[in-house]
A and B are shown apart, each in its own frame.
Chain A
């Protein structure tokens, strides 16, 4: 009897956690459709803030820049990361363990430290602040994720298939293109989406590396929040969260996130 009661309490707890996780996001989204600029209730539906958004050049430029950087990060990190994963999968060599361990600092060290270190170094070598620096930083942050996700997919690959293709006379490049890549494609797509998300949602590193005049979207939002809330920021935040959740949902479908499919 008490077991049943406990199970029910557990489910209630789970629902409460989900409410805790989603309520603020839902409220923010709802408020972006509220006419009052001070989030006053009662709620009055309005699309004013979205209309204001389309006329806001600063936000639009920042949005285009953010998407551009995220796409470039996705392409570069996926190419470099997939190549590295293939090397880890195919070859045994000295220092392999060290190289794999070196993937953790970019993930594990707080971004505050990585970001300020990048700022110092890029200034020292004359690259300075700006979009190129932001891109270099984002690719470095995304690379370990791509390598982890693609390697996870490679672990399910039967390596005798590569040997069979090679024994039939296929060259290394043909084997990669015709045998290995098609098999690991879901992992590569998931890795690419992770890379896009890492870049698109990245705030800390972009904050230290972007020039005041050419901020990415999160950096622009942060500076706006510190100056005072505006419902326009609310509207753009709602759009961002919908995009990044959609990207992650698709990524989760491609990787074996919730178990085998």
Chain B
């Protein structure tokens, strides 16, 4: 029986048609999460965007609800904001590249070379660091980079607290987020493809480059979403190992807490917001969002 026929039958009998029931089911499923999403999340984002157009009383710092585009103008023209934004985007990109470089061979080994038991152990080994406190991991790196810490003791040199330390620490913190999707992507590459490629005479390098890489790329792109976005907004790891460096997150936090200028902080937040949305839209084409 077709759906249309059952609809007619149901209508004659006076009961709800399967299609209407189905739509009702969909509505029931969608409404609660969507309401939550719309109200709790999108709603608050809208409040944030709206507050970016307000201003503050310059003496007391209280928010004044007169609409002005001053903040937006400042965000776009102020040199400090531009420098820091470029620095932050640069850090985020470097961290992403480093994470990808570290993750890919590891994921290859885990997915294609390791035995199933070793694979399970490696998956556990790679996901466990996610449970260690982010703060403690950053602090551990602070100890490592300290002039009297293990790094200086072992190699006689420590880069100290600054941009390099920040990049290394961020790479360390987000590495598991890159490994997981890349590993998943490698797992989905059928072994038979690799075998077929070598049967046809391709060297391992060629196989990896021409057959496996395009299939794994969406996974890398998915991982890059996390590393890029997490680095873009981070301000705590920078505070711990960055010395006197400032990233965008510090500026936003500073405007909110030091300057008591919530509208300007909101205006500045539009930068990472826009950056991520653009990145997501770009990544969408690579199919990364299916692999997230």
Partners in one complex: no
